[in-house]
Amino acid sequence: MPEATKYQDPATIQRVLHTGRSIAIVGLSANTLRASHFVGYYAQRHGYQIIPVNPREEQVLGEESFNSLTAVGDTVDIVNVFRDPAAVPAIAKEAVAVGAKALWLQFGVISDEGAAIAADAGLDVIMDRCLKVEHARYIGRMHWLGLNTEVVTARRPVRR
Amino acid sequence: MQERHVAGMMELPERQFGFQTRALHAGARPEPETGARAVPIFQTSSYVFEDPESAAAYFNLQEYGNTYSRIMNPTVAAFEERIANLEVGAGAVAFASGLAAQSSTFFTLLSAGDHVVASRALYGGSITQLKHLFKKLSVELTFVDPDDPNEWHQATTERTRLFFGETIGNPGGNVMDIEQIAKVAHDHSIPLVMDNTFATPYLCRPIEWGADIVIHSATKFLGGHGTSIGGVVIDSGDFDWSNGKFAVIAEPSDAYHGLSFHETFGMYGFLMKLRSETLRDLGGCMSPFNAFLFLQGMETLPLRMDRHVSNALEIATWLEARSDVVSVSHPAIHYRENAGLLEKYLPKGAGAVFCFELHGGRSAGQNFIRNVQLFSHLANVGDAKSLIIHPASTTHRQLSDDELQAAGIAPGTVRLSVGIEDVEDLQWDLEQAFARSN
Ligand SMILES: Cc1ncc(COP(=O)(O)O)c(C=O)c1O
């Protein structure tokens, strides 16, 4: 397993997943084969409100797509980013401006500058982790695929 | 919404649990429906879908859901997660046998015209698999001295796609310098695949030394009971499959409606491809009942291994002192001049399988085996019971004399897999076999 960094804290990840309701996905593609679409589809299935942010799309997953975070209007809890790392600092500033509670940068979206902008403004920051995988690890069914959730417990899970 | 989430919350342990604790618990969470503490045997071929949308989401891999037991099964998944946890990997995929695990790994990573560099001192079945089965599929192969990093480097070509070796060689007992060989592999941007069957994760965890993929024949020490055939592949999650050499994982896959496993699944890309394509298509899945038996075995892995290694070392040392024995290939004897290697990779002991050579060649070896009473004469290793075999006429029979020698096997070589019996009883058995054979 790759080493966890300071932006991959398990307690933070769980808090963000448990308390967040709406997820603005920056770079959400309408192409069903793209990773962003996998994550959006999965999160929507699990009851999160998905807000696509992608100027190249009009609608994704049945939801209106916005040109930028600041154009959204609705409350954004989690900003989930599928963009070039160079675009992250600007996105982080917008996330702060719209009052988001967390900035979540996907696998490979690594920007220490962007992460610091959000963290300094008091947002929870998660970097180089997949939202779908982390949800499946703690709340979902990742263990059905033989993946190492690292969850070790003798407590009976409460039925969902 | 929020309440529903909190109710289902599964927290990471507040403590990093030790190996024995994880050997008992990892992967085996109490069953939510019934509270069953033991992992239930989900002896079912298939699973009823909630609705057509869910069925589609499972098949599209958009959601984790059970579809068909050739591809996934909750009992098998508990076994997979346990071994992945013990080997410090990202995840695992189980197979019907160790060789099915190996061939499926090779199938996933290799295409016609690719090349493999492998240790010369492998289990006979692995040598045959690479040399004959994969040759048929136009995969080129070079065997090298596992102890010489330079040979691995020299043998590597533009088309080399993986290195393959055993932590402790079967049956020659050579111990690979995993960290060094992993460096050579990574210098060439290819993964090191290690067969860790003889060491088990209790004695050595190759991923901690830089190996990328670990394979087990679970048939052996993981089960420990000799009741079941099985295998498993563990991936570290660390290898960069997008480095240009692994289009099979990084590029859109025709066999999965254009999905790119690397882009979509990141560190799980190889494992997802291995399961949802190779296991699906080759079909060598582990049965739920065997997974259940392997889970039982793994609960006592650390306890058994401690006894295995201490019994084996005692028997090896005792054999070495005898005049009717030509040589003993136990790693502790083999690496007496290089004890640092064992201290580094196998601090808890160097396994329980080793060979000794008798004066008098093939007939002496066969004669000795005729006379044992407690050692079982059979073609397996890693059982809690002690086992004995004559490799030149059985497990390594397909090998030429040169290959035999390269694998550390002489005509008079006898292989032991030392069990967890009272060690005095094992010595008594060997002693009386020596007496009767002379
Ligand atoms: C080191 C090693 N690897 C792989 C295998 C193959 O495993 P299986 O017999 O489960 O296919 C064996 C079996 O003898 C072995 O000893």
In SS3 terms, chain B reads as: CHHHHHHCCCCCCCCCCCHHHHHHHCCCCCCCCCCCCCCCCCCCCECCCCCHHHHHHHHCCCCCCCCECCCCCHHHHHHHHHHHHHCCCCEEEEECCHHHHHHHHHHHHCCCCCEEEEECCCCHHHHHHHHHHHHHCCCEEEEECCCCHHHHHHHCCCCEEEEEEECECCCCCCECCHHHHHHHHHHCCCCEEEECCCCHHHHCCHHHHCCCEEEEECCCCCCCCCCCCCEEEEECCCCCCCCCCCHHHHCCEHHHCCECHHHHHHHHHHHHHHHHHHHHHHCCCCCHHHHHHHHHHHHCHHHHHHHHHHHHHHHHHHHHCCCCEEEECCHHHHCHHHHHHHHHHCCCCCCCEEEEEECCHHHHHHHHHHHCCCCEECCCCCCCCCEEECHHHCCCCCCCHHHHHHCCCCCCEEEEECCCCCHHHHHHHHHHHHHHHC
**Which range of residues forms the domain containing residue A36?**
4-132
User: Is B11–A152 a contact, with Cβ atoms under 8 angstroms apart?
Assistant: no
Q: Tokens 């601090």 correspond to what residue?
A: B347
Chain B partners within 8 Å of A150 (Cβ): 12-13, 85
Would A152 be classed as within a structural domain? no
Tell whether ligand 1 has an atom less than 6 A from the beta carbon of residue B196: no
Would A145 be classed as within a structural domain? no
Residue A107 sits at the vertex; the CA angle it makes with A101 and A110, to the nearest 5 degrees, is: 75
Look at residue B93 and tell me whether its pLDDT is greater than 90.
yes
Q: What is the pLDDT of residue B5?
A: 38
DSSP class of A68: S
Q: What is the pLDDT of residue B170?
A: 80
Q: What is the pLDDT averaged over residues A127-146?
A: 92
User: Percent of chain A scored above 70 by pLDDT?
Assistant: 96
Q: How far is B153 from chain A (nearest CA, A)?
A: 26
Domains of chain B by start residue, with CATH: 19-28+36-297 (3.40.640.10), 301-437 (3.90.1150.10)
Measured distance CA(A101)–CA(B190) in Å, rounded: 41
B394 CA distance to ligand 1 middle (Å): 14
Measured distance CA(B168)–CA(B162) in Å, rounded: 19
Tell whether ligand 1 has an atom less than 6 A from the beta carbon of residue B381: yes
Q: What is the pLDDT averaged over residues B239-244?
A: 95
Look at residue A103 and tell me whether its pLDDT is greater than 50.
yes
Q: What is the pLDDT of residue A110?
A: 94
Tell whether ligand 1 has an atom less than 6 A from the beta carbon of residue B170: yes
Would A159 be classed as within a structural domain? no
B123 CA distance to ligand 1 middle (Å): 7
Measured distance CA(B395)–CA(B99) in Å, rounded: 14
From A9, which residue of chain B is nearest by alpha-carbon distance?
A: B12
**CA-closest residue to ligand 1 atom 16:** B123
Among residues 97-156 of chain B, which lie with CB inside 8 Å of chain A? Answer: none
Look at residue B314 and tell me whether its pLDDT is greater than 50.
yes
Would A104 be classed as within a structural domain? yes
* Closest listed residue to residue B87, CA positions, set B167, B201, B196: B201
Residues facing B213 on adjacent strands = B193, B235
Q: What is the pLDDT averaged over residues A23-50?
A: 96
Q: How many domains does chain A have?
A: 1
Token digits of residue B391: 């490799």
Look at residue A42 and tell me whether its pLDDT is greater than 50.
yes
Q: What is the pLDDT of residue A1?
A: 52
Q: What is the pLDDT averaged over residues B79-95?
A: 98
User: Percent of chain A scored above 90 by pLDDT?
Assistant: 86
Among residues 249-288 of chain B, which lie with CB inside 8 Å of chain A? Answer: 252, 257-260, 263-264, 266-268, 271-272, 275
Measured distance CA(B67)–CA(B60) in Å, rounded: 11
Would A156 be classed as within a structural domain? no
B217 CA distance to ligand 1 middle (Å): 5
User: Is B8–A156 a contact, with Cβ atoms under 8 angstroms apart?
Assistant: no
Would A149 be classed as within a structural domain? no
Which pLDDT band holds residue B12 (cuts at 50, 70, 90)?
low
- Amino acid identity of residue A123, one-letter, is L
Which residues make Cβ contacts (< 8 Å) with residue A94, sequence separation at least 6?
Answer: A68, A69, A70, A79
pTM of the model: 0.94
Would A139 be classed as within a structural domain? no
Look at residue B43 and tell me whether its pLDDT is greater than 60.
yes
Give the domain CATH number at A121: 3.40.50.720
* Closest listed residue to residue B393, CA positions, set B420, B366, B418: B366
**Using CB atoms, which residue from B2, B26, B238 is nearest to A18?**
B2
Which pLDDT band holds residue B7 (cuts at 50, 70, 90)?
very low
Q: How far is A55 from chain B (nearest CA, A)?
A: 22
Q: What is the pLDDT of residue B13?
A: 59
Q: What is the pLDDT of residue A2?
A: 54
Q: What is the pLDDT averaged over residues B238-252?
A: 94
B94 CA distance to ligand 1 middle (Å): 14
3-state secondary structure B209-233: HCCCEEEEECCCCCCCCCCCCCEEE
Tell whether ligand 1 has an atom less than 6 A from the beta carbon of residue B171: no
* Exposure string for A34-70, b = 16+ CB within 10 A, e = fewer: bbbbbbbbbbbebebbbbbbbeebeebbebebbeebe
Q: What is the pLDDT averaged over residues B308-325?
A: 97
Contact between A136 and A142 (Cβ < 8 Å): yes
Q: How far is A138 from chain B (nearest CA, A)?
A: 5
Residue B302 contacts A, CB cutoff 8 Å: no
Would A158 be classed as within a structural domain? no
Look at residue B171 and tell me whether its pLDDT is greater than 80.
no
Q: Which is higher by pLDDT, B395 or B167?
A: B167
Look at residue A157 and tell me whether its pLDDT is greater than 90.
no
Measured distance CA(A48)–CA(A41) in Å, rounded: 10
Q: What is the pLDDT of residue A139?
A: 86
Highest mean pLDDT among B300-314, B381-395, B403-417: B300-314
Alpha carbon of B322 to those of A55, B6, B294, B354, B372: distances in Å? 81, 66, 38, 16, 17
User: Is A33–B259 a contact, with Cβ atoms under 8 angstroms apart?
Assistant: yes
Q: DSSP 3-state assignment of A100?
A: coil
Across all residues in chain B, what is the average pLDDT?
93
